Structure 1
Amino acid sequence: MFKKTTKLLVASALVTTLSSAAFAADKVYKWKLATTWGSTLSPFIDAPTNMAKLAEEMSDGRLQIRVDAANKHKAPLGILDMVKGGQYEMGHSASYYWKGKDIETLPFTTMPFGMTAPEQYAWFYYGGGLELMQKAYSKHKVLSFPGGNSGNQMGGWFRKEINSLDDLKGLKMRIPGFAGEVLAKLGVTVTNIAPGELYTSLERGTIDALEWVSPSMDIKMGFHKIAPYYYTGWHEPATELQFLVNERKFSKLPKDLQKILITAMRVAAYDMYVENYHMNAEAWAQIATDYPNVKIKTLPENVIKAMKKANDELLVDMAKESPLLKEVLESQKAYMKKAREWTKMADYKYLEDNL
């Protein structure tokens, strides 16, 4: 009797275990993702949209992610708070938008005069950058992953030509991240404005200049109609967007769905980088033929020199903010020093010899 009862209990336990496994395999997880971008803002909005499609396809429909653009949730610069609070399981934005909340998040987007996109991706995935980013975001109970790179961005649109440092003093400019700190040190009045408000702010004179991204996205915004001087970049050589994931919600996903989500984010991020490069190549050709009044400029040497000096001084002060921030900045500096020698040999030398 005892043996028979034991066998029944074991059999019952096995059935329960198998049923639970089957239930877990069949369960559909429905998530929501909030973006900083509007629904038509390609290629930025394409990264989370494509990621959601990939995740659903690879999971056979078990992981479904609804993407809410900024025009739906109305809080383009509130993504971190919404994911942190659990209102959304995921977000897509840029890490430097949170510098006012947590300065330790700032360097994970890009830094002035910093790494190029290939260098930065190598740092993230093979140079310890991703681990440092998770460490920085752990206090917020969220995970952060690379979300797509814009490559080297243009320096912005200006109503008037910049010929000297004096032309920067009192200038009102929209520019986020550490570059804003650099320009503020040189007398620029810096502000950060959500993407959907940029054109109106420039048109109404609320700002005198702005930087957005690069030709493919800038021309569609119409900035050239108001500010014809288009400057080459210095401030965002490798702007990496980010996927934010609520840590608690992520931990509740089955292991296979966790891996699928991480893979989908990585694939979508790289695809955005490639898509953006293609779009810029086409848009640059379009500027030359369709918008001949756009004046392509490079900032004067003395201005660049002053910005580099201000940048170096601010980095010293920034490193004092926290041990983690110092660790991140030193890691980026060391990796760039190592990788740049190969970049010069592989890319710069090739272009120098063959153009």
Structure 2
Amino acid sequence: MNKLMQLLAVITLIISANANASWFGSDDKPAAKQDNKVYSLKLAETWPSNFPIFGDTTKNFKQLAESMSNGRLKIRIDSKNKHKSALGIFDFVKSGQYDLGHSGSYYWKGKDINTLFFTSMPFGMTTSEQHAWFEYGGGQQLMDKVYAKHGMKSIIGGSTGNQMGGWFQKEINSIEDLQGLKMRIPGFAGEIMAEVGAKPTNVPAGELYTALDRGTIDALEWVGPSLDLRMGFHKVAPYYYTGWHEPGTELQFLINLKKYNSLPADLQSILTAAMKLSAYQMYVQSEHESAKNWSTMKKDFPNIKVKTFPKSVFDALKIANEKLLAELAAKNPLSKEIIQSQASYLKKARAWSAISDQAYLNSQSK
């Protein structure tokens, strides 16, 4: 069991004990008065109703929060179909229209550039490395600093793991092949692609297949086999590239701080523990679905050509990444603090990853 799950298990045991015990502290102290008030919270999610994996995560969160609180927390989930604004979650929670949200932090870079860093950064940390940074490397404290200015708190909301680099209609053999390429790619990776001459664009999920099929875009990245298979991209873009841009994509739960601070302390703990436990469930579900769907893709669609960008392309992307990060750091002191924190932790964590997971996987491929 890794350190994150050990922590979550301890939190859950403490919460369960406190919620069900008739006393707190030593036997000779009077029992603490139980707050039996029911607190109803509304959560808005970016995803449509019954969206696989991502939507399962909010359902798991609701079940955990309500169960661990013995019904003192009641969660209502409104999907995109209900609130009609997939990318309105930040404003919903900030304003108090919704108490909670589930989305991706990098969607809010236009509102606050420092929200960008807490989803996944190109050439950055894997999921396990990033979770360690959040829990023990100062990541959560930096995220608190960013979101507190907006009256919110952000908690990890589930990882997709390492995302694939995307579906391409043509093979990429050199950096010149990216010149003028129209690609759906969000976040900082989109800015990097623009820096090397591509034309990043944003297309709603429901229009992605049609846009790729009709040539409105030449390529797109979505997630990985866990969610890509059902979208059918392999039918119109045979080249499937390995990842570089989102090595550990972490969704987020958003909490309105005013609402959070109004809750009893035990319910605050239950709320955040339920978020972290459902985030863990999403990660292992993503790993499972990707493994299962990749097996199906290899068997049923042998024409899919799995590729990795040539070294010359990676080198150009890395140079663009370093240039843009340096520009961000020069403009914004908090950006600089976050960038330096991530770089420092990555250096430390990757040295261990290299002689543990990477060395093990390399030995198995021989």
Tell me the TM-score normalised to structure 2 length: 0.89
Deviation at 1:26, TM superposition (A): 2.0
Question: Are the aligned partners of 1:37 and 1:195 in contact in 2 as well (CA < 8 Å)?
Answer: no
Deviation, 1:71, is 2.1
Structure 2 CA distance, aligned partners of 1:238 and 1:317?
23
For the residue of structure 1 that corresponds to 2:61, the secondary structure is helix
Q: Which residue of 2 aligns with 1:133?
A: 143
Matches of 1:214 and 1:203 in 2, distance apart?
Answer: 19
Residue 84 in structure 1 maps to residue 125 in structure 2: no
Question: How do 1:17-96 and structure 2 match up within 5 A?
Answer: 21=33, 25-96=35-106
Partner of 1:314 in structure 2? 324
Paired position in structure 2 for 1:331: 341
Q: Would the aligned equivalents of 1:84 and 1:140 in 2 still touch at CA under 8 Å? A: yes
For 1:200 and 1:125, how far apart are their aligned partners in 2? 41
- How far apart are the structure 1 equivalents of 2:216 and 2:81? 22
In the alignment, which of 263, 270, 273 is matched to residue 263 of structure 1? Answer: 273
The whole-number CA distance in structure 2 between the counterparts of 1:70 and 1:103 is 24
Aligned match of 1:289? 299
8 Å contact kept, 1:95–1:105: yes
Describe the superposition over 1:263-295 as per-residue Cα deviations: whole angstroms up to 9, x where unpaired: 000100011001100111111111110111211
Alignment-mate amino acid for residue 199 of structure 2 = T
User: How much has 1:66 moved relative to structure 2?
Assistant: 1.1
The farther-off stretch of 32-41 and 207-216 is 32-41
The residue type paired with residue 222 of structure 2 is W
1:1-355 alignment to 2 at 5 Å?
21=33, 25-355=35-365
3-state SS of the aligned residue for 2:299? helix
Shift in alpha-carbon separation, 1:189–1:30, aligned structure 2, 3 A: same
Structure 2 SS opposite 1:66: strand
Cα distance in structure 1, aligned partners of 2:47 and 2:112: 21
Amino acid in structure 2 at the alignment position of 1:278: H
- The Cα of 1:134 is off from its aligned counterpart by 0.7
Detail structure 1 runs of 4+ shifted over 4 Å in the superposition.
none
Whole-angstrom distance in 1 between the partners of 2:84 and 2:210: 17
Specify the SS of the correspondent of 1:91: strand
In the TM superposition, residue 21 of structure 1 has moved relative to its aligned partner by 4.9
Residue deviations 1:196-219 (CA, integer Å, cap 9, x gap): 332233234332211010112001
Q: Please identify, of 329-338 and 158-167, the stretch whose mean Cα deviation from structure 2 is larger.
A: 158-167
Shift of 1:166: 1.7
The Cα offsets for residues 275-322 of structure 1, whole Å up to 9 and x where unpaired, read as: 100111111111110111211111122111110111111111111221
Give the number of the structure whose alpha-carbon radius of gyration is greater.
Answer: 1
Report the secondary structure of 1:296's partner residue: strand
5+ residue gaps, structure 1: 1-17
Unaligned runs of 5+ in 2: 1-29
Q: 1:204, 1:247 → 2: CA distance?
A: 45
Deviations 1:149-188 (A, max 9, x none): 1111000011222122121111111111111111000111
